[in-house]
Every structure is written in structure tokens, then in C-alpha cells.
Amino acid sequence: MVSTIPGVLSSGARTVRAVTYSSPARSALLAFAAAIAVFTVLLMMPWASASDDPAHLHDAVFTATSAVSVTGLTTVDTATHWSPAGQVVILAGIQVGGLGIVTISSLLALSVTRQFGVRTRLLAQTGMSAGGLGEVRSLITTIVVSSALVELVIALVLAPRLIAHQGSFGDGLWHAVFYAVSAFNNAGFVLNPEGLAPVAEDPVVFWALICAVFLGSLGFPVLLVLWKHQWHLGRWNLHTRLTVEVSVLLMLIGALGFAALEWSNGATLGGDSVADKFQQSVFASVMMRSGGFAVIDPVDTRASTMLITDALMFVGGGSASTAGGVKVTTLAVIFLAFLAEARGREDTTAHGRALPTSSIRVAVSVAGMGLTLVAVSALTLMILTGEDLGRPLFESISAFATCGLSSGLSAELEPAGVYVLSGLMFAGRVGIITFATALTMRAQRTRYRLPLERPIIG
């Protein structure tokens, strides 16, 4: 009887490995789910709570999911509800989620086996949307080095300001590290009960957070290209060009739109100087895309501004980045396909390159899936809360796009609504990646073609 146990364990291990290697996308999803479970358990420990009482399950699940998915939405105040140990757990969750469970798993496998085999590369390629198996090692190195370097620089910039503000070297340094990690990973968690309002007048803090969030939202493949080729535009690949161009364009559109709509709003920009208005507008625009930090409460903005925020949150940042959303390249591909159709061209092109039809199909599918998830979530929250469309839609897009901006609805929800948003954050972080990868990997060649028949469209 005893002698058969090793055989059973060995068989079970082989089964687990077979399932893992047969579907890298499924493995990435399971890795994130396991991480959320671990951080949920940690946050439910009495020492993680400021009151020494175990947190409610739905609050722990929501906070763990928000941290690992680098979202920033909260049902309880991070500064007052969680103890310093609990805040460290949240910070660890943000870092794990930002680096990516798949990246960490790949690094562990590499450190143990001293090899970087095809299976490990496939798993990493799935989780990080690497362009090819040969790029995975360079991409993992870029992820680790760029994350550590940017976070260190931002923490050093923030430290003197936050030490002066907190009046304590230890507290100021801790806040600097926390905000640096939270900003680069586009998480949006804050340690002040008043949010960023106490440092709203400090341009150094403002622009440090803007730079960290923007760099994190570009995506690690883009950072890899920028690291190799700097500003030699001729050596940039198409993905890098589209990501940088659309990111800058959306940042400008968001800033100008926010400034124009809120210029005379006394609750937001109305009482500020012209320079402060433009600074606040740039800050708001960058944070709309996935940063999640806010000096101006979204509830105080006009309905038209919230609509622009909804749109920018839904798009999000770059592929394989710490940002969420359907990604800027998805928007670019759909727009280029629309432009080609409007001009009557057969091929969709950009910068002298033709885009494959499969990329267009995947882009449309990802956007369609995102819209469906947001619509179902918003409808569910409307039913659960009895609210009109505004706040449920805003909160749903923020959760799906892992942005973290809030209309205040998350903190008011009953457990059922909390779990709805938790599932949406999880789907927004790993579901879209898995879905897109599955579509790409399922491309099949057929030896026959069915007769063509065009339905009436439009």
C-alpha cells in the first residue's frame, strides 16, 4: 500500500504537468488565480488588519484581486483599514501582478533547471505577449531590469518630498517606495486617507507619477525596443510605432478634452491658475488610461468628462504592459481597418507594412469581448444597486480596464456586487490576454473554401 503512494504522486504530478504544458494560456490564468488566492489568505490574517480583526472575505478577495491585477479599486480605505503589514502584502501583490506571475514562474524555472526550454518560453510568451520565442529571454530581462530601475528612480525622486510632507524619514521613505511601485505598475493604490490631495500642489510629485505611469503603460516589448534603439525611429518595429503614437495621441486628446470641459467647473479646475489647469489636465489624462491616481474626484466632473474617461479607460495602455484595457494597438488596428475600408483599399497598412487579416479579426474580437463583459457587469450592478447607468458603467470599465478610478460605488456595494467587480478585474487582467492568445493559436489552414455569399451590412 505504502509502496504505491510514490507512484500515485508521480502520476498526479505528470498529469498536472501535462495539463500545464498542453495549454500555456490556461497555465497563465491558473497562475494569476493562485496568486489571488494566496494574497486573499494573507489579507484575512488578523495581523493584516489595523483593528486586529480578520477582514471580511469579500473585502480580502476584492483587495487581493485589485492588487494582483494592478487595478487600485478598493472597498475599504487602504490607509486606515489595513495595518502596515497588510499594506506590505498589498504592495507585494502589486509587484507580483505587475511583473507577472508568468515572468516569475519562468525565472524560477530558469534558476532551478538552468535551462530556458521551449515549454517555459511558450508559457512566458503567452503571459507577456512576446512577439516570438527568441525574444522571451530578452523580454524577461527587460521586465525585471526596467521595473527595478524605474521604481528605484521614482522612489528616490519622491523620497525628499514625501519625507518633508510626512515629517518622518521612515514614513516618508515607505510612502515613496509604495507610490513608486504603485505608479509604475499602474495600480493606483494610495496610502493617504485623503488620497493625493495633500501633495496636489507639488509639481515634482505630480510629474514623477505621470512619468512612472506613462512608462509602465507603454509595455515591456516597447521598452525593450527603446532600450535597444533609443530614438532611431527607422529601427522601431510596427508595434512600437503604433503604441507610442497612439499613446501620445490619446494623452493629448484626453488632456485637451479634460481642460476644455472642466475649465470653468468650480468643483474641479475652475479656481486654478492656467498653469495648474494644464498640469491637472495632463495628470488626469494619463491616469484615465490606467494609472488610477486622482486628485480631482471623478464624481465632481461633468457627465461629458466622465464619458471621455470611460472611453480612455476602456482603451487602456500598451500590450504586455502594466496597464489594462483592450490596448492601444487594438484601437489602432481597428481604426486602420476602418480607414482602409473607407478608402476602398483591399489591404490594411501602416508605416509601409500590411497588417494580416488575422490581426484585424483578433482586434475586433478582443474589443467585442471587452464591450460584452463591461455591458454585462454594468447591467448586473444596476440591478443590484438600483442605480442609473452612470456609476455602474464607470466602475465596470474601471475594473475591466484595471484602471482604478472610482465613482465611489465599489465601497458602497454589497458582497454580490463586490464579487462581480472582482471577476471583472480578473478577466480584464488575464482573460483578454488568454482569449487573444487562444484565437491566435487556433488559426487553421483548410484545404477547401466554401462558396462566398455577402450579407447586407449597414
- Cβ atoms within 10 Å of 397's Cβ, excluding its own: 28
Whole-number pLDDT of residue 5: 42
Would you kindly state where each structural domain of the chain is located, as residue ranges?
22-440
Inter-CA distances, 376 with 10, 259, 327, 389, Å: 43, 32, 20, 12
Whole-number pLDDT of residue 124: 54
Whole-number pLDDT of residue 268: 93
Largest alpha-carbon pair distance within the chain?
Answer: 80
| Bridge partner list, 349 | 354
Print pLDDT tens along the chain (458 aa): 434 444 443 444 444 444 444 456 667 778 888 999 999 999 999 999 999 999 999 999 999 999 999 999 999 999 999 999 999 999 999 999 888 765 665 555 554 444 555 555 555 555 554 555 555 666 677 778 888 999 999 999 999 999 998 889 999 999 999 999 999 999 999 998 888 877 878 899 999 999 999 999 998 888 888 888 877 888 898 999 999 999 999 999 999 999 999 999 999 999 889 999 999 999 999 999 889 999 999 999 999 999 999 999 999 998 878 888 999 999 999 999 999 999 989 899 999 999 998 889 889 988 999 999 999 999 999 999 999 999 999 999 999 999 999 999 999 999 999 999 999 999 988 867 666 565 555 555 667 778 888 788 77
Quote the CA–CA distance of 8 and 256 in Å, as a whole number: 64
**pTM for the structure as a whole:** 0.87
Whole-number pLDDT of residue 137: 66
Quote the CA–CA distance of 183 and 287 in Å, as a whole number: 10
- In degrees, rounded to 5, the angle at the alpha carbon of residue 256 between the alpha carbons of residues 254 and 257 is 60
Quote the CA–CA distance of 56 and 280 in Å, as a whole number: 36
Quote the CA–CA distance of 31 and 23 in Å, as a whole number: 12
Quote the CA–CA distance of 207 and 219 in Å, as a whole number: 19
Inter-CA distances, 233 with 237, 329, 339, Å: 9, 18, 24
Residue 29 and residue 37 in contact, taking contact as beta carbons nearer than 8 Å: no
Quote the CA–CA distance of 368 and 372 in Å, as a whole number: 6
Residue 405 and residue 288 in contact, taking contact as beta carbons nearer than 8 Å: yes
Q: Which long-range contacts (CB under 8 A, 24 or more apart) does 140-143 make?
A: 140/103, 140/106, 140/107, 142/220, 142/223, 142/224, 142/227, 143/99, 143/100, 143/103, 143/220
Quote the CA–CA distance of 292 and 98 in Å, as a whole number: 14
Helix (H, G, I), strand (E, B) or coil at 119: helix
Residue 300 and residue 267 in contact, taking contact as beta carbons nearer than 8 Å: yes
271-281 CB burial, b ≥16 within 10 A, e <16: eeeeeebbbbb
Helix (H, G, I), strand (E, B) or coil at 344: coil
Write the DSSP string, 353-375: EEEPHHHHHHHHHHHHHHHHHHH
